[in-house]
């Protein structure tokens, strides 16, 4: 084994960074044996230097992240501060100054992954980011490496722990939305600004990264259709239960049937209780990958939290250090297909639509006519009078598969009917 250590700089010492530092210290001997050289933490950039950080030598703490990545003797920079800037500049500066980078920053990778990959390639460095998608679950590396000889057609799953935790609590214990979000935040699952979780930005970033790797193309967060969970009500969840379904926030990336384009979307969806994704609880994630030769693969595990995420970071650290010792780099960006991303209107799926309607003869026929005119075929309809009466009823329509654009047209036309008092909810149905 080489005795001269590989030098590691840690940027950020929050939920993930503190666990990375802890495991680097407690597992130092194992890491050295696996890499073939010791790894030494030589600097930790933080924002609040006065905070007590157990197990970290105070002499390593600095508030000057730029000076740390410019030192010139760092082998690997671990970026776990999050956000676009200064993370982006720090990563490129690290490449310029001789370091490879391990990052958990999905927001940045989904915004500017191509430029970061180009910078890594220019300077002959590695850029690894297993932790950026689905926490501890090995997913980036299997897609980038294990499935590199196959053709992936679909990636579908739960990729945000915080929203899964909230929906699960609302469904199984009747917890309120805010209470469940507070708990997820206290457990270290949520982003620094949890809007990123609940509005679907975090899952959209992960979908962009997954689609890019899976289809060997470039997908940015802005290309991903995004809906969060803030509009999901207890009534939606109860309605899903009545249909034998549950509500999950899904990320779905698909190659078009003709292979000429891809789609990427994040939205809440009803899935049958019999589907494996329905039993994904708390902050766990699960992702199905459908590949031409392999068939269907399922990846499952903890999708958020300090220790699980640190596991993925450390796996990347070992890989990058091994590459360094072998004077090699791992696989870079593979985006040669340059497939365009189609708009949401072209996505074909099923819908569950809940309408508040006038409880009088002919209404059902009127509603059915609108669906027929828009070319959306109805699978089931359930009408129930409202307990408060008042001449109104709830009408729940579940459609067959239809293009999203046709569904939008249907909803627009329904809203114009006098007998439709309101569209209470629209949810896609997946996994059937
Ligand atoms: N918490 C989780 O479950 C997961 C987090 N991630 C990602 O890991 C990254 C870190 O997340 P967390 O540790 O949860 O966030 P955090 O907010 O707990 O930690 C980030 C730390 O970076 C520090 N920081 C911010 N700007 C800095 C700067 N310019 N210089 C030095 N320190 C700075 C903050 O003070 C904070 O302590 C983010 O990109 C996040 O999206 C990825 C997977 C899971
Ligand atoms: N906030 C994220 C953290 C992991 O990526 C989540 O909840 O999934
Ligand atoms: Na992962």
Is 85 buried (19+), middle (13-18) or exposed (0-12) by CB count in 10 A? Answer: exposed
Mean pLDDT of 126-153: 98
- Structure confidence by residue, pLDDT tens digits, 255-282: 999 999 999 999 999 999 999 999 999 9
Ligand 1, atom nearest to 108 Cα:
39
Please provide the distance, in angstroms rounded to a whole number, between the alpha carbons at the two ends of the chain.
53
Determine if ligand 2 sits within 6 Å of the CB of residue 180.
Answer: no
If pLDDT is split at 50, 70 and 90, which confidence band does 2 have? confident
> What CA–CA distance (Å, rounded) separates 220 from 259?
19
DSSP code, position 144: I
Q: What is the pLDDT of residues 353-412, one digit of tens each?
A: 999 999 999 999 999 999 999 999 999 999 877 666 578 999 999 999 999 999 999 999
pLDDT band at 242 (very low <50, low <70, confident <90, very high): confident
Q: Which 8-state DSSP code applies to residue 172?
A: H
Residue 139 Cα to ligand 3 midpoint, Å, equals: 5
**Helical packing angle, 306-325 and 28-35, nearest 10°:** 40
The per-residue pLDDT for 296 is 97
Sorting pLDDT into bands at 50, 70 and 90, what band is 4?
A: very high
385-401 as b/e: b if 16+ CB within 10 A: eeeeeeebbbbbbbbee
Q: Residue whose CA is closest, atom 10 of ligand 1?
A: 80
What is the overall mean pLDDT for the chain? 96
* pLDDT surpasses 70 at 149: yes
Mutate which of 134, 162, 301, 309 for ligand 2? The one with the most ligand atoms within 8 Å of its CB, which is 162
Q: Is 12 annotated as a binding residue?
A: yes
**pLDDT value of residue 142:** 98
Average pLDDT over residues 244-264: 97
Percent of the chain with pLDDT over 90: 93
Give per-residue pLDDT as tens, 185-207: 999 999 999 999 999 999 999 99
Sorted by where each starts, the structural domains of the chain and their CATH numbers stand as 6-135+307-335 (3.40.50.720), 140-302 (3.30.360.10), 344-429 (3.30.70.260)
Model confidence at 144, pLDDT cuts 50, 70, 90, reads very high
Which residue is closest in CA terms to ligand 2's atom 3? Answer: 304
The pLDDT of residue 1 is: 86
Taking CA atoms only, the protein residue closest to ligand 2 atom 1 is: 190
| Average pLDDT score over residue span 101-123 | 98
162 lines ligand 1 (CB under 6 A): no
Residue pLDDT, tens place only, 363-375? 999 999 999 999 9
Mean pLDDT of 309-330: 98
Confidence class for position 164, pLDDT limits 50, 70, 90: very high
What percent of the chain is predicted at pLDDT more than 70? 99
Helix segments in 148-267, DSSP class H = 161-172, 177-186, 195-198, 201-215, 234-242
pLDDT at 109 over 70: yes
Cα 259 to ligand 1 centroid, rounded to whole Å: 38
How many Cα neighbours within 13 Å face the side chain of 379? 13
E strands, 205-291, in order: 225-226, 245-255, 262-272, 284-291
pLDDT at 227 over 80: yes
50-93 confidence digits (pLDDT tens): 999 999 999 999 999 999 999 999 999 999 999 999 999 999 99
Tell me whether residue 18 is annotated as binding. Answer: yes
* Calculated CA dihedral for residues 64, 68, 71, 76, nearest 10 degrees: -170
Question: Nearest residue CA, atom 14 of ligand 1?
Answer: 15
Annotated catalytic residue, options 7, 206, 220, 324: 206
Is 51 near ligand 1, meaning CB less than 6 Å away? no
- Contact in structure between 158 and 280 (CB atoms under 8 Å): yes
């Amino acid at each position: 084994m080489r005795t001269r250590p590989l030098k590691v700089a840690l940027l950020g010492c929050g939920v993930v960074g503190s666990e990375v530092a802890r495991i680097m210290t407690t597992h130092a001997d194992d890491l050295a044996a696996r890499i073939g050289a010791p790894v030494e933490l030589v600097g930790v950039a933080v924002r609040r230097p006065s905070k007590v950080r157990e197990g970290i030598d105070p002499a390593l703490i600095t508030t000057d992240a730029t000076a740390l990545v410019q030192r010139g003797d760092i082998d690997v920079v671990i970026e776990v501060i999050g956000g676009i800037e200064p993370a982006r500049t720090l990563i490129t500066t690290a490449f310029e100054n001789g370091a490879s980078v391990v990052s958990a920053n999905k927001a940045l990778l989904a915004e500017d992954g191509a430029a970061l990959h180009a910078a890594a390639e220019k300077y002959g460095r590695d850029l690894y980011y297993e932790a950026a998608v689905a926490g501890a679950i090995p997913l980036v590396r299997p897609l980038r490496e294990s499935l590199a000889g196959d053709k992936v057609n679909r990636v579908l799953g739960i990729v945000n722990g915080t929203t899964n935790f909230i929906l699960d609590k609302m469904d199984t214990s009747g917890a309120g939305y805010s209470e469940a979000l507070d708990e997820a935040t206290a457990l270290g699952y949520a982003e620094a600004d949890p809007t990123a979780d609940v509005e679907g930005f975090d899952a959209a970033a992960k979908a962009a990264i997954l689609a890019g790797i899976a289809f060997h193309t470039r997908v940015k967060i802005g290309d991903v259709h995004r809906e969060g969970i803030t509009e999901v009500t207890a009534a939606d969840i109860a309605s899903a239960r009545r249909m034998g379904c549950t509500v999950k926030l899904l990320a779905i990336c698909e190659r078009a049937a003709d292979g000429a384009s891809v789609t990427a979307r994040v939205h809440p969806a009803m899935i049958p209780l019999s589907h494996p994704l329905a039993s994904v609880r708390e902050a766990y994630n699960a992702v199905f990958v459908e590949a031409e030769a392999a068939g269907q693969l399922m990846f499952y595990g903890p999708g958020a939290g300090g220790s699980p995420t640190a596991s993925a970071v450390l796996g990347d650290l070992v890989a990058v250090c091994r590459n360094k010792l072998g004077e090699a780099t791992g696989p870079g960006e593979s985006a040669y297909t340059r497939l365009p991303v189609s708009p949401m209107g072209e996505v074909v799926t099923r819908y569950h639509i809940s309408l508040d309607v006038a409880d009088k003869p002919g209404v059902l026929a009127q509603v059915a006519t609108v669906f027929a005119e828009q070319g959306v075929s109805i699978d089931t309809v359930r009408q129930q009078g409202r307990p408060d009466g008042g001449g109104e009823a709830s009408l729940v329509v579940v459609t067959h598969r239809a293009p999203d654009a046709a569904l939008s047209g249907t909803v627009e036309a329904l809203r114009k009917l006098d007998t439709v008092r309101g569209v209470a909810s629209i949810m896609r149905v997946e996994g059937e």
